């Protein structure tokens, strides 16, 4: 059976602590060249939502470091493709989300999402509308650091006191063998002492006209390697995306979308949640930029990854398996990284035979 048709599997939890990627991989321009080719050009990238393209002739632009994509629902009637050198790329609309795959290979998004499609379907994200302009920030960190941070919940009690006051702790979600990870966060019964957080907790049950009681008081977070997250809340959803700008610079994009028929209470919840998202985003920026500065100091060593950080460990394994040079404790001699990686790949292939 080919990897395209094989159904995604849920991976068992880890039994041992895992090893993190070596520090040099977080500041290497040469490695980023390989990562861009192996991860970003070969994976699905979220470029927007159907509601961003309401009529024929509308278009979006999506910049992925060296490449740009222009998703459009219909052909451009007034653009000469031969002149612009536009190339068609593989595109898929999954429950309203528009994704492109520049390499064009690999399984469809709907296939990859198979085991959790029911969870997404419960939100009917197809009919949503954009909430304002996307938040776009430049973070001074390697893209993997922002992605490590997004995937683990270990830092919530220290890094995000607001989330810690509102949500029941959830150390680990469910990880599929195709790099998709999802987790459910239940709202705490105990009310936060901060008025706006308490108000959100009090209001959250009001969305039960759209959700069954088991889904009305929770947040669902889906992370998709190498760089995308979708968070479904009862009153909106948010897309999170990390895009490399350089070895120690990343673009962070946050797009939020709303269901069309909000009640007054849901609108109030949405306003509170948007403010909380901004607060959490600022806290994450501070956290990862501080760690990135540590990458450059000689005294900093990556510690073992705890069992609760299994999604980070699995992501690091995925990096090591795809780009074996990332296993090396020290970086290869300048200018030799690509050749060294090819050598390691060839020796791994001959060992496997
Ligand atoms: Fe965070």
Tell me whether residue 113 is in a domain.
yes
Per-residue pLDDT, 73: 58
In a domain, 300, yes or no: yes
**Is 105 part of any domain?**
yes
Query: Lowest mean pLDDT: which of 144-153, 221-230, 293-302, 323-332?
Result: 293-302
Ligand 1 geometric centre to CA of 159 (Å): 6
Ligand 1: centre distance to CA 172 (Å)? 14
Average pLDDT over residues 160-180: 87
* pLDDT of res. 67: 75
Q: Please tell me the distance between residue 286's alpha carbon and the centre of ligand 1 in angstroms.
A: 10
How far, in Å, is the centroid of ligand 1 from the Cα of 187?
Answer: 17
Considering only CA atoms, which of 17, 16, 5 is closest in space to residue 305? 17
Tokens of 48: 């927007």
**Ligand 1 centroid – CA 149 distance (Å):** 6
Q: Give me ligand 1 centre to Cα 4, in Å.
A: 33
Contact, 227 vs 242, CB < 8 A? yes
Note the pLDDT tens digit of each residue in 24-61.
Answer: 999 999 999 999 999 999 999 998 898 888 777 777 77
Q: Distance from the CA of 300 to the center of ligand 1, in angstroms?
A: 21
Distance (angstroms) between ligand 1 centre and the Cα of 284 equals 5
- Rounded CA-CA distance 202/169 in Å is 19
* pLDDT of 323 above 90: yes
Instruction: Kindly give the distance from the C-alpha atom of residue 273 to the centroid of ligand 1, in angstroms, as a whole number.
Output: 15
Instruction: Compute the distance between CA of residue 266 and CA of residue 205 in angstroms, rounded to an integer.
Output: 10
Residue 127 · residue 82 · CB < 8 Å = no
Whether 253 is in a domain gets the answer yes
Mean pLDDT of 220-224: 94
Question: Could you give the strand order of the β-sheet that contains 45-49, starting from the edge strand earlier in sequence?
Answer: 45-49, 97-101, 90-94
Instruction: Give residue 163 CA to ligand 1 midpoint distance, Å.
Output: 9
Average pLDDT over every residue of 101-116: 90
Alpha carbon distances (Å) from 190 to 68, 174, 186, 205: 47, 26, 12, 14
pLDDT of residue 252 exceeding 60, the answer is: yes
Q: State how many domains the chain has.
A: 1
Distance, CA 62 to ligand 1 centroid (Å)?
25
Handedness of CA 261, 266, 270, 271 (dihedral sign): positive
Share of the chain above pLDDT 70, in %: 90
Kindly state the tokens that stand for 44.
């699905």
More confident residue, 57 or 151: 151
d(CA 71, CA 50): 10
pLDDT of residue 96: 94
Q: Is residue 350 part of a domain?
A: no
Task: Calculate mean pLDDT across residues 275-294.
Answer: 94
- Does 250 fall in a domain? yes
**pLDDT score of 82 more than 80:** no
Domain for residue 245, yes or no? yes
Model pLDDT, residue 275: 96
Q: How many angstroms does the Cα of residue 170 sit away from the middle of ligand 1?
A: 13
Residue 14 lies inside a defined structural domain of this protein:
no
Alpha-carbon distance 244 to 266, whole Å? Answer: 35
165 alpha carbon – ligand 1 mean position (Å): 14
Mean pLDDT of the chain: 87
pLDDT at position 251 is 95
Q: How far apart are CA 118 and CA 220, in angstroms?
A: 12
User: For 3-7, 85-89, 270-274, which range has the lowest pLDDT when averaged over its residues?
Assistant: 3-7
Rounded CA separation 280/143 (Å): 18
- Domain interval for residue 165: 23-322
- pLDDT of residue 1 exceeding 50: no
The DSSP letter of residue 167 is: B
Q: What is the CATH classification number for the domain harbouring 308?
A: 3.90.380.10
């Amino acid at each position: 059976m080919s990897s395209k048709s094989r159904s995604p599997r849920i991976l068992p939890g880890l039994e041992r602590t895992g090893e993190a990627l070596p520090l040099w991989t977080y500041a290497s321009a040469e490695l980023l060249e390989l990562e861009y080719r192996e991860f970003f050009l070969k994976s699905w990238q979220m470029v927007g939502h159907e509601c961003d393209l309401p009529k024929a002739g509308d278009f979006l632009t999506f910049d992925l470091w060296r490449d740009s994509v222009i998703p459009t629902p219909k052909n451009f009637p007034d653009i000469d493709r031969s002149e612009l050198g536009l190339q068609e790329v593989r595109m898929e609309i999954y429950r309203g989300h528009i994704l492109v795959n520049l390499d064009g290979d690999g399984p469809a998004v709907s296939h990859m999402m198979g085991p959790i499609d029911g969870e997404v379907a419960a939100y009917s994200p197809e009919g949503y509308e954009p909430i304002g302009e996307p938040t776009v920030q430049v973070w001074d960190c390697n893209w993997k650091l922002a992605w490590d941070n997004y995937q683990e919940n270990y830092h919530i009690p220290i890094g995000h006191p607001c989330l810690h006051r509102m949500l029941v702790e959830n150390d680990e979600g469910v990880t599929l063998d195709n790099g998709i990870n999802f987790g459910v966060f239940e709202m705490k019964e105990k009310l936060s002492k901060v008025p706006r957080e308490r108000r959100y907790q009090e209001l959250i049950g009001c969305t039960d006209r759209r959700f069954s009681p088991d889904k009305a008081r929770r947040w669902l977070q889906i992370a998709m390697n190498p760089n995308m997250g979708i968070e479904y809340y009862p009153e909106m959803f948010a897309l999170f995306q990390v895009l490399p700008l350089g070895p120690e610079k990343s673009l962070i994009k946050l797009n939020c979308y709303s269901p069309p028929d909000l009640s007054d209470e849901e609108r109030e919840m949405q306003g509170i949640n948007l403010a909380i998202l901004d607060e959490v985003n600022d806290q994450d920026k501070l956290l990862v930029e501080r760690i990135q500065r540590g990458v450059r100091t000689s005294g900093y060593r990556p510690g073992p990854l705890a069992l609760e950080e299994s999604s980070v460990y699995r992501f690091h394994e995925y990096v090591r398996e795809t780009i074996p040079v990332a296993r090396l404790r020290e970086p290869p001699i300048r200018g030799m990284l690509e050749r060294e990686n090819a050598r390691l790949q060839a020796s791994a292939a001959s060992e496997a035979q």
